Structure 1
Amino acid sequence: VRTAPVALTTDAWIEIPPGGYPAWLESLSARRARSIRSEIRKFEKAGYELEHRTLAESWQDVARLLARSLLRYGRTVDVAPMADSFRKQGELAGSRAEVVLCSRPGEPPVGFCLYYRCGDTVYLRAHGLDHDQLVSAAEYFNLTYYMAARLPGVRWLHAGAGTAEGKALRGATLRPLWLLDLSEDSPLAGYDEEIREHNRALLARLRDSSPVVSGALEGELWGPYC
């Protein structure tokens, strides 16, 4: 890499202490821990059940629910090719592609979370919800973060980019996600100072966006290229 890295957005990581899920709750502020416990109680009261399967076993539900979730945000997709993509992914990944399906007893699933596990780290990779069938019981957070935090032996959750404040409220630290140009004739060559200015401006916008986001930023990882 011959040019300065370009900051794209935040990359969220949630550390689960050695004591597991209970220790994670204790590591949060009292207010945040109360909020999470309230969301878990709502989810349990709604009567949801979580079923752990592989992607190879559940790709049809995954595709259907992801399409329903995208539709809520105005994106209409053809389910068939997306389902075929998940089917192939499930065949290639085998037992490493794990899915949690959320449903009420005797009913089709209304949500899923697809994740991969490597050692003590869980990589949250996709989720989908049929919002018309939900009952406002914090389904998204229960199906993703709270489910994953309870998995035995987990020390890190990789929550990825986007929705920085919501992830920070669940205890995530926000690392920079960089673009690295590996080309020999990079169009970025000679613009290191402009890149650093861009990186500084992005960091400033994040700090100003909310106190929660500002407190979750890992400043020492941004500093060398700002």
Structure 2
Amino acid sequence: MTTMTTRATEGWDQLRTALLDRRPTNPDEARSVVRRRRIVVIVFLVFGAVLLALSLSAKPGDSIFYVYTLALAGVWVVGAALSRPLHLGRVTWRGHRRRPVLTGLGVGVGLGLFFVVGGLVVREIPPIRDLIAGVFEYATAGNLALVVAIALVNGIAEELFFRGALYSALGKYYPVVYSTIIYIVVTLASGNPMLGFAAILLGLVCALERRATGGVLAPMLTHVAWTAIILLALPPLFGV
């Protein structure tokens, strides 16, 4: 019992340290680069929130939904490109610095399975079930392969912007915490609180990966793996 308590305490201390870390994300960058990045991030956050709201205001299966979601991915990618530089990041494995490919995919699969287990529970709660089913109707009412492809592209684009551009723009201002909060707020522009809830977990996990690896590769792979599992496994659970 004492050992478990000690490990839980150590785990909490490590998480708190990660959340409240104030080291500059890119300490060698010139002030002009930081200022430009912050201006770009603010402008594209507004554009992205508007497009997200428009995309989920369309009727499931309507072709305009695909237009809006592809435009949204474009907004995130362009915003990230204009706020460069971005980094892929590395992890230490057996004494060598490597790209976090397996790390990102493994975390994404684990997070996806966690959501599947959660789905088995919340589908028994009618109000929550209806909110989640409303989101998945966009996948099942149209071309599933196209929806999955667009969702994967959007996932990569979101990580480039939120865990790349935005995270770097925050500098020493608690980037893990504030990048996650901003991600949640923008996601809530969809009007569906369940997407906001998903953004809490996904955003926090990806932000911690960004901090741990120093780049966007692990968060991108996590987002891709999570998205694939969610879109392919959850709709049948909710009868959509």
Name the TM tier (shorter chain).
under 0.3
TM-score normalised to the size of structure 1? 0.27
- TM-score, with normalisation over the residues of structure 2? 0.26
Q: Higher helix share goes to which structure? A: 2
Give the structure with higher Rg (CA): 1
